Amino acid sequence: MSALGQRGAAFQLFGGWGVDLLLGESLRPHKDVDLVVRQGDLARLEAALHSVGGHPLRRYPSGCAVWAAGGLSVDVLPLCAAPGGGLRPAWRLGARPWPHELETLTWLERDGARYPLVSAAAHLFRKWADRTVPTADPDTARLAAHLGSERAALVRRLALDPGRGGL
């Protein structure tokens, strides 16, 4: 991750590894690393992946790609502008954008390295808004506990608000 950042790639760690870093513990093995990137920064991230010996394995019409880099499978997930403002996942047409009320970027410093992460609130919003995982999913429960009941309740209200468009 630090090698990509040193090469000027703008991205945020998302998904399982992102959750584990946010919460400071790993409860399950991971088969890949998920990186979200604004569409305008996609070429720079791909150039950085190439520079560390990475190569694309699969590309999808949405702009998503699976890369092999550093012995890992890296999922590159672009974000695009949503109608009315905000960002939404390009891989989920009609997905709700992250609301302006939620911070989406957080930084974690560990062992002398600085990691850009999608925030706990934004991870939780994605899970609830997309309804792709049951609310009993272990990551969902861990994120909600990390945020605290009041903040988690706000995120859930934002995620399930039908007035926010999307699904």
Cα separation, 20 vs 91, in Å, equals 23
Q: How far is CA 83 from the centre of its chain?
A: 20
One-letter identity of residue 34: D
**Residue 25: band (very low, low, confident or very high) from pLDDT cuts 50, 70, 90:** confident
What is this structure's pTM?
A: 0.81
Domains (ranges, CATH) in the chain?
2-119 (3.30.460.40)
> What's the farthest any 2 CA atoms get from each other in the chain?
45
3-state class of 45 per DSSP?
Answer: helix
**Tens digits of residue pLDDT in 51-83:** 889 999 999 888 889 999 988 899 999 888 877
Q: What is the mean pLDDT of the chain?
A: 81
Angle among Cα 128, 131, 134 to the nearest 5 degrees reads 85
**Tens digits of residue pLDDT in 80-124:** 887 777 777 887 766 677 776 667 788 888 778 778 888 888 888
Q: Assign residue 95 a region (left: φ > 0; alpha: ψ between -120 and 50; beta: otherwise).
A: beta
pLDDT of residue 163: 61
Cβ(104)–Cβ(118) below 8 Å: yes
